[in-house]
Amino acid sequence: MSEEKNIHCSFCGRSKDEAEMMIAGVDAHICDRCVGQAGGILHAELGEKPQSNPLDVAAKPEFDFTPKQIKEHLDEYIIGQEPAKRTLAVAVYNHYKRIGLVPLKDAPDVDKSNIVLVGNTGTGKTLMARTIAKMLNVPFTIVDATVLTEAGYVGEDVESILTRLLQAADYDLNRAQVGIVFIDEIDKIARKGDNPSITRDVSGEGVQQGLLKLLEGSKVNVPPKGGRKHPDQKYIEVDTTNILFIAGGAFVGIEKKIGSRLNSATLGYSKESRNHVEDDEVLSYITPSDLKSFGLIPELIGRMPIVTFMSPLDKDALRAILTLPKNALIKQYQHLFHMDDIALSFDDEVYDYIVEVALDYSLGARGLRSVCEAILTDHMFDAPGMEEKSIHITKEYAKAQIERSSLRKIPA
C-alpha cells in the first residue's frame, strides 16, 4: 500500500490519489491529464486536426439545405438537365438526412441510395457530382473505373477508390466515411460476354463483383498509400455504409437497346407508333433492365437503385453554357486575361459560331473549350507584356483562327 501511495506522475508530479488514472511504464508513470496534453501538443506539431464527429458533417444538409435549395445551387452552374438535377437533389438530401437521423425505437433502417448517371460525354455528369460535394463541404473524389482490375491482376484494386477518398479528406477517417465518390466510365467495366464462365473478365465483371461490398456498405481494410507498392503498411478500416457512390457513364449504344425494348412493347405494325419517340428523348426511358442488357451484373444494378439520365446538349444549351453559369467558359477566359490586366470581349455572333463548330465534333461542353482554345491561343501567347489593354474578338477573326487550326473541316 505504501508503494502505491508513493506513485507519482513522472511529468507533473501528481500522486495517484490526485489523478483519475495513472498509466505505468517500465520505470515511470504518467497521469491522464498529461496524456491529454501530450495528445494536443502532438496534433499541433504535426498540423493535424482533431477527428470530427461524422454526424456533425452528415447532418448539415438536414438543417441547412432542402432538395429545392440543392437544385437552385446546381442551376447556377449547370444549364438544363432538369430531371437529373431534381433526382440527384432528392437522393443526396435523403442520403445525408438518413445519416443524421437520431435512432428511434422500432424505427426502420433507411437503406443507402447510390446513383447511376447515364449521358453522353460533355453533358455535365462529373460537374454535377463535384458541385454538390462542394456545396455540402464533404470529401469528394473522382475515380476512373477503366484502371480497376480484379484483385491479383495488373491495375488498381477496387480498394484504391477508398484510398483516394481518404486522401481527399486529409486522412480524417470520420469525414471520409460521409464523403461522395464519383465512379466515372462505369460503362467500361460492362461484362464482355453473355456467358461469364468462358473466360476471366478481370477488368469487367470481376471489377463489378469487387465493387459490390463497397456499394452496399461494409467495413473494408484500405491501404492508405495504395496496396501493392507498400505491402508492409498498416491498413485503415473504412466503413462505407454512409459513403454515397455516384456512377457515371456514356453507355454508348444503349439507345438502341432502349429503342428495341420500346418497339417490342408496341403491338401491331403501325409505323407511326414505332417512331413516336424522338432520338434525343430515348434516354429518358432508361430503366435498370437496359443497364443489365448493356452488361452490368444484376447485383451491381441492385445496389445502385437510382438511375437518371443527362440529355444531349442542343444548340441553345451550348450557347447558354458559354456565358450564363457562374463558371461559364467565356467568364473563365476573361478572368485569365484580366490577370494580365487585359479586358477581353466578343461579338455576339462569335458565340453562335463557336457553338456551330462545337456541334460538328459532338463533344458536348468539352468541345466548346477546344474551339475557344483554338481561337484565343495566339492572344494568350502574346498577352503577357502587351501594351494594349483590351482585346475584341470578331467572327471574322474567330473563323480565320479555326481555319488555321487543326479543327478546320477536312474536305470530303
Extents of the domains making up the chain? 2-46, 54-310, 315-404
Q: HSE of 180 in the Cβ direction (CA atoms, 13 Å)? A: 28
Cell of 115: 446513383
Cell of 79: 444549364
pLDDT per position in the chain (412 positions), as tens? Answer: 445 557 888 888 888 777 777 888 778 888 888 887 787 777 666 655 444 444 444 434 334 678 898 899 999 888 888 999 999 999 888 888 877 655 556 667 777 889 898 888 878 888 888 888 888 888 888 888 887 776 555 557 788 888 888 888 888 888 888 888 888 888 888 776 555 544 555 556 777 888 888 888 888 888 776 655 555 667 888 888 888 899 988 888 888 888 888 776 544 444 444 445 565 678 888 888 888 888 888 888 888 888 988 888 888 888 998 988 888 899 999 999 998 888 999 999 999 999 988 888 777 788 888 889 999 998 889 888 788 888 899 999 998 988 887 766 544 3
* Rounded Cα distance, 310 and 280, in Å: 11
Give me the residue label for grid cell 463533344: 363
The CATH number of the structural domain formed by 54-310 is 3.40.50.300
Give me the residue label for grid cell 501493392: 228
* Rounded Cα distance, 360 and 353, in Å: 11
Residue 61: the pLDDT is: 37
CA distances from residue 374 to 164, 365, 402, 410 in whole angstroms, order as listed: 34, 15, 6, 16
* Rounded Cα distance, 96 and 243, in Å: 10
Q: Is 108 exposed, middle or buried (0-12, 13-18, 19+ CB in 10 A)?
A: exposed
Question: How much is the pTM?
Answer: 0.70
Residue 268: the pLDDT is: 47
Radius of gyration of the chain (CA): 28
Residue 195: the pLDDT is: 53
The CATH number of the structural domain formed by 315-404 is 1.10.8.60
Do strands 180-184 and 244-249 pair parallel, antiparallel, or not at all (unpaired)? parallel
In this structure, what are the phi and psi dihedrals at residue 33, rounded to the nearest 5 degrees? -65, -40
Q: Which residues partner with 392 through β-bridges?
A: 345
